[in-house]
């Protein structure tokens, strides 16, 4: 999402900032949960990966990464409009942390992020605009080259109480090295245009040019594909889901109702997929998370929506995890998906 006026249901612009602030500590229940049982699993840790599921968990763990930084802090963020996050970034800079921040500037990105940019710049932080011709939809935050947060969410406080999102806190050295190198390259060339390819790592899928990696994983499905997404319109992805359904793979989708996805949902339903949707109103959970579960043994989770622009043109990143690398994380994502599927309707 870029702004309430352009892409989000109007009710999302009215969410209480006070409620969002309470959610930072994980001590408040969003209104949409009233009368509904909580998801079976909110968080999970396995080895180097820790899952944080939103909105239930709150954002304390994410902001904690900023607070723990002592040497370096690198952030690439599509939208930044959270006073607590901004204060934490300024505090990090003041205690001597080398802080580098890239904010999206494409389309109305400057309008969305100007207040944050100005506050950070005034504090002496060398924040930079991403290239105006490329959407920087990536959501990562890395401290001291020892821990990184890879998210499906933007740091926009007014959306915290109502959005289904997730973060994975990652201490894998290869993942961190690849993200750090990519952010540093993007930071150094921010004024020059299209970003270079992301630095490869076995657990990362970078955009631009992520579609092939997504298709390879979808084509391996033997019995199930389950996904959440905000956008569902890339024809190659729709084709892969259709093929999977035709060969007998169970295909389940959860998303928020949107006129832009009606045709695609109808097409996939006709192919045999089961799509459940939440109404686009303030009483219900808003599906902003972007994740794909394949056979409940492989998970793609991160910033990429299932749109052509997201997969082929934007700067984006997702994690690719397996039962071998992060089974409790995959199990927790699956449990929450099951709950969201039950709470939504065909």
Tell me the domains of the chain and their CATH numbers: 4-203 (3.30.870.10), 207-343 (3.30.870.10)
Look at the block and give the residue holding tokens 């930044």.
80
The pLDDT value recorded for residue 8 is: 55
The pLDDT value recorded for residue 108 is: 82
Is pLDDT of 19 > 60?
no
Rounded Cα distance between 206 and 150, Å, is 12
Confidence of residue 195 (pLDDT cuts 50, 70, 90): confident
Short-list 104, 59, 102, CA closest to 79? 104
Rounded Cα distance between 269 and 138, Å, is 30
Is pLDDT of 52 > 50?
yes
Confidence of residue 133 (pLDDT cuts 50, 70, 90): very high
Contact 33, 339 (CB under 8 A): no
pLDDT digits (tens, 9 = 90+) for 92-126: 999 999 999 999 999 888 999 999 999 999 999 99
Residues in the chain: 346
Confidence of residue 71 (pLDDT cuts 50, 70, 90): very high
- Report strand pairing: 80-81 vs 155-156: parallel
* CB count in 10 Å sphere of residue 291: 24
The pLDDT value recorded for residue 109 is: 87
Is pLDDT of 28 > 60?
no
Comparing 28-32, 159-163, 232-236, 281-285, which segment has the lowest mean pLDDT?
Answer: 28-32
Contact 268, 244 (CB under 8 A): no
Average pLDDT over residues 274-285: 96
């Amino acid at each position: 999402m870029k702004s309430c006026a352009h892409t989000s249901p109007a009710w999302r612009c009215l969410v209480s900032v006070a409620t969002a602030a309470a959610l930072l500590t994980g001590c408040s229940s969003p209104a949409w949960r009233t009368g509904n049982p909580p998801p079976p699993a909110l968080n999970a840790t396995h080895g180097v990966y820790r899952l944080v599921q939103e909105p239930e968990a709150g954002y304390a763990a994410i902001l904690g990464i900023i607070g723990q930084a002592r040497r370096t802090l690198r952030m690439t963020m599509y939208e930044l409009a959270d006073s607590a996050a901004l204060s934490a970034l300024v505090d990090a800079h003041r205690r001597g942390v080398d802080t580098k921040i890239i904010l999206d500037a494409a389309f109305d990105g400057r309008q969305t992020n100007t207040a944050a940019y100005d506050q950070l710049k005034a504090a002496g932080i060398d924040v930079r605009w991403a290239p105006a011709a490329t959407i920087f939809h990536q959501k990562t935050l890395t401290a001291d080259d020892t821990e990184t947060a890879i998210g499906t969410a933007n740091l926009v406080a007014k959306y915290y109480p109502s959005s289904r999102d997730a973060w994975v806190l990652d201490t894998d050295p290869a993942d961190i090295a690849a993200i750090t190198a990519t952010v540093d390259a993007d930071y150094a060339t921010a004024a020059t245009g299209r970003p270079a390819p992301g630095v490869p790592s076995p657990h990362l899928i970078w955009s631009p040019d992520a579609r092939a990696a997504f298709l390879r994983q979808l084509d391996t499905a033997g019995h199930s594909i389950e996904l959440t997404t905000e956008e569902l319109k890339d024809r190659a992805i729709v084709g892969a889901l259709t093929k999977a359904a035709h060969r007998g793979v169970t295909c389940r989708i959860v998303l928020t109702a949107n006129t832009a996805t009606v045709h695609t949902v109808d097409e996939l339903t006709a192919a045999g997929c089961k799509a459940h949707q939440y109404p686009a109103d303030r009483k219900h959970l808003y599906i902003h998370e972007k994740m794909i579960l394949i056979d409940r043994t492989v998970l793609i989770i991160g910033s990429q929506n299932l749109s052509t622009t997201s997969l082929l043109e934007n700067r984006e990143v997702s994690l690719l995890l397996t039962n071998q690398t992060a089974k409790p994380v995959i199990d927790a994502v699956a449990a929450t998906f099951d709950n969201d599927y039950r709470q939504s309707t065909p």
